[in-house]
Amino acid sequence: MTEQYTEFQKRAIESVKRIWRLYVVNQEPEELESSFRMLPEDFLMIGTGRHEFYKNRDDFLKGMTADQVEARDIQFELQDEWYEAQRITDDVCLVYGGIWIREKSTPGKPVLIDMEGSRFTVVCRDTPGGVQICNVHHSMPYLDQGEDEYYPKSLATLANEAVQKSRALEHRMELDHMTELYNRIYMERHVSRAIKNENGYFLAIDLDDFKCVNDSKGHLTGDEVIREFSRVLKRSFSPAAILGRMGGDEFAVWESCSADYDAVEKQFLRLLKECSVLSERLHVSVSCSAGIAGSRRTGEDFTALYNRADKALYRAKGQGKGVVCRAEEFE
């Protein structure tokens, strides 16, 4: 898709990308100030906070300064980003896309701020002095962000106060924002506890050709596939199974010793059938492959178990789509 862009549109995408990195990740006051001083006087900004509605450059700069002061004790990192451009006129284009921002992890402190699914549109004009950003609209599906907050500060404050006494809130922090499966950190924690107490089977699951879905159908469709696949995953395995999203299009399942290899493979085949139904409903190809590793309580830790399943998954992916391989077949 990049080949279809004009030189102006390519420069506009790079300018927007640079602004996000300055504003969210680097937070260098002097560089931010000089960059945003180039905005037109009638610059319009509609942001994620309920207070972020600025109709001119000066009001935006004042608000931005206050936001940076509020966030000075929080460091964010960019997990993912995507950008596309659409022509409006020869010298005006719309840059739109999505960014995934989360709080940097700190030893001894759980990550509480995870802003996945953030979306933006930016109107850019081509001028003799370079690309000029005229309008920014930024939004994200996050219900816990309070009044006048640059980031979900209220949730973070409540969580820090209640995490030791509220199991419900602690469980909420364990979940992946998009799928409500365990996130990678807590998936590892729960499986590590399980393999000390019981035999079982660990599945490393990867969606087949998921990048093609994002490239051909767009990231909004890709997000829908991730959410719907997660629901199918829950239906395909036992209620006692531990399910997690390891990141992107990678998932994991732990089934306890009540099942054997054949039973676990049958569960995976049921998952594939559900994927076929999902493909018809979403009008996009949805399939997955898996690697299975059995644990026998021999002192093996999560990393070793995961690596064995991942190697089996790699072999499965090499054999085509919708394939499952057992780690023991290659060991």
Q: Which domain holds residue 321?
A: 175-330
Residue 168 domain flag = no
Tens digits of per-residue pLDDT, 41-62? 888 888 766 667 888 888 888 8
Report the pLDDT averaged over residues 306-331: 91
Same-domain pairing of 186 and 301: yes
Whether residues 119 and 157 fall in one domain: yes
Three-state secondary structure call for residue 272: helix
- Identify whether 43 is part of a domain: yes
Residues 205 and 149 in one domain: no
Domain CATH code at residue 155: 3.10.450.50
Please state whether the predicted TM-score (pTM) of the whole model is above 0.85.
Answer: no
User: How would you list the strands of the sheet with 114-127, edge to edge?
Assistant: 53-54, 44-46, 130-139, 114-127, 92-103, 76-89
Q: What is the mean pLDDT of residues 15-33?
A: 74
- The DSSP-derived string for 61-99 is HHHHHHHHHHTTT--EEEEEEEEEEEEEETTEEEEEEEE
Clarify whether residues 143 and 194 are in a common domain.
no
What is the average pLDDT across 162-185?
Answer: 76
For residues 292 and 282, what is the distance between their CA atoms, to the nearest angstrom?
A: 28
Instruction: Identify whether residues 179 and 325 lie together within a single domain.
Output: yes
Number of structural domains in the chain:
2
Better-predicted residue by pLDDT, 30 or 288: 288
Are 180 and 228 members of one domain? yes
